[in-house]
Amino acid sequence: MSDETAAVTATVIATYSRRMGLRLANDAIVDARIKGKRIKPVCGDIVNAEPIDNESDWLITAINDRRNELTRPNMRGKVEVLAANFDTLVVVASVAPVPDWYIVDRYLCAAELIGVEPIVVFNKTDLIAGHGIEIPELQEYRDIGLQVFECSAEKNKGIRKIRKALSDQCTIVVGQSGVGKSSLINELVADSQQRTADISHKTGEGRHTTVNSVMIPLRGGGSVIDSPGVRDYAPALSDSSDAAFGFREISAAAQACRFANCRHLREPGCAVKDGVEQDTISYRRYESFKRMVNLTEKLSEGKY
Ligand SMILES: Nc1nc2c(ncn2[C@@H]2O[C@H](COP(=O)(O)OP(=O)(O)O)[C@@H](O)[C@H]2O)c(=O)[nH]1
Ligand SMILES: [Mg+2]
Ligand SMILES: [Zn+2]
């Protein structure tokens, strides 16, 4: 057998700094190193890999073209890829820590721009005393047609509906640190007997290295990517005018603006501002949009 025939395609299911966990076609999970310094695989990547003689490690030699990627600008103003090739983006917020809805909006903005389905999950409902407490922001998301789920990962409430919505999808779960992303994922995959900790263990790095992200299969099809908690998030937009595409109610209303290049800030005949005045567009979401525009301008000037 020649060397070439030993090369296979595999999926990146866990990333550490320069080492990866790979799932091979036969579902075997192996450790891998990366050939050279030029390629930077992320969770969800389909890669070419080959076994290394007399080693248990595999070698990743190339990344296949990505269908999509979740990116963010890093400290040095460069774009960092967080994950690739997913269908759905779940943003988790919770009762505590108190939600920063601007961060939620920025994740939703990223999903819209990538063209993947955004879903909002509000976790830790067990911490709310009594019943029937309406969270106005959740209603705003429902009003613009997003799927919104409320749940308690701890009490296993509302999990089944979420699992159903995610079946057969590759989903990335994002949100502020401490909202319960990992707890939620463990509940979602509880019946597939393959938890975050198991994958870390199987790839032999769990004890020594911080896992950046990990992909866990859902029984009955699909998978979930657990991403590490972030203190803040902003999508990498190429231009501040992209921000409007990330707010679906704003881009819909913008069709009726007097000027095709309306920025929805101070222009006359702006249907977006009219919508805010008439309360068909949430004032908070509009503020969030304006912050996103500001932030993008600051990022492009390298001031963030
Ligand atoms: N009360 C309550 N606590 C939860 C719930 N889900 C997660 N937690 C707790 O919140 C903390 C952070 O959870 P974790 O899953 O690590 O959050 P992550 O940083 O988003 O992955 C842990 O102490 C969990 O036990 C929930 O539904 N209710
Ligand atoms: Mg976590
Ligand atoms: Zn406008």
Query: What's the pLDDT tens digit per position in 225-271?
Result: 998 766 678 888 888 888 999 999 999 999 999 999 999 999 999 99
Confidence of residue 66 (pLDDT cuts 50, 70, 90): very high
Residue nearest to atom 24 of ligand 1 (CA): 180
For residue 229 and ligand 1, the question of a CB distance below 6 A is answered with: yes
Q: Where in the chain is the domain with CATH 1.10.40.50?
A: 240-300
Instruction: Round to whole Å and give the CA distance between 130 and 257.
Output: 44
For residue 85 and ligand 1, the question of a CB distance below 6 A is answered with: no
Report the amino acid identity of residue 168.
Answer: D
pLDDT attached to residue 45: 97
Q: pLDDT tens across 2-39, in order?
A: 455 578 999 999 998 778 999 999 889 999 999 988 89
Q: pLDDT tens across 93-148, in order?
A: 999 999 999 999 999 999 999 999 999 999 999 999 766 678 999 999 999 999 99
Identify the CA nearest to 138 among candidates 105, 171, 111, 183: 105
Confidence of residue 197 (pLDDT cuts 50, 70, 90): very low
pLDDT attached to residue 234: 85
**Stretch 262-289: mean pLDDT:** 97
Q: Where in the chain is the domain with CATH 3.40.50.300?
A: 69-226
Residue nearest to atom 2 of ligand 1 (CA): 124
CATH tag for 69-226 (out of 3.30.70.270, 3.40.50.300, 3.30.200.20, 1.20.120.530)? 3.40.50.300
Instruction: Round to whole Å and give the CA distance between 139 and 90.
Output: 17
Which CATH class name applies to 240-300?
A: mainly alpha
Q: Where in the chain is the domain with CATH 2.40.50.140?
A: 4-63
For residue 158 and ligand 1, the question of a CB distance below 6 A is answered with: no
CATH architecture of the domain formed by 4-63 = Beta Barrel (2.40)
pLDDT attached to residue 294: 92
The three-class DSSP label of residue 101 is helix
Q: Percent of the chain scored above 70 by pLDDT?
A: 88
Identify the CA nearest to 168 among candidates 227, 220, 214: 220
Instruction: Round to whole Å and give the CA distance between 141 and 159.
Output: 19
The 10 Å Cβ neighbour count of residue 94 is 24
pLDDT of 202 higher than 60 = no
For residue 21 and ligand 1, the question of a CB distance below 6 A is answered with: no
Torsions phi, psi for 297 (to 5 deg): -65, -40
The 10 Å Cβ neighbour count of residue 36 is 9
Report the amino acid identity of residue 157.
Answer: K
Residue 84 or 297, more confident:
84
For a pocket test of ligand 1, which of 90, 98, 172, 183 has the largest count of ligand atoms closer than 8 A to its C-beta? 183
**Are 71 and 83 spatial neighbours (Cβ–Cβ below 8 Å)?**
no
pLDDT attached to residue 68: 97
Instruction: Round to whole Å and give the CA distance between 28 and 7.
Output: 15
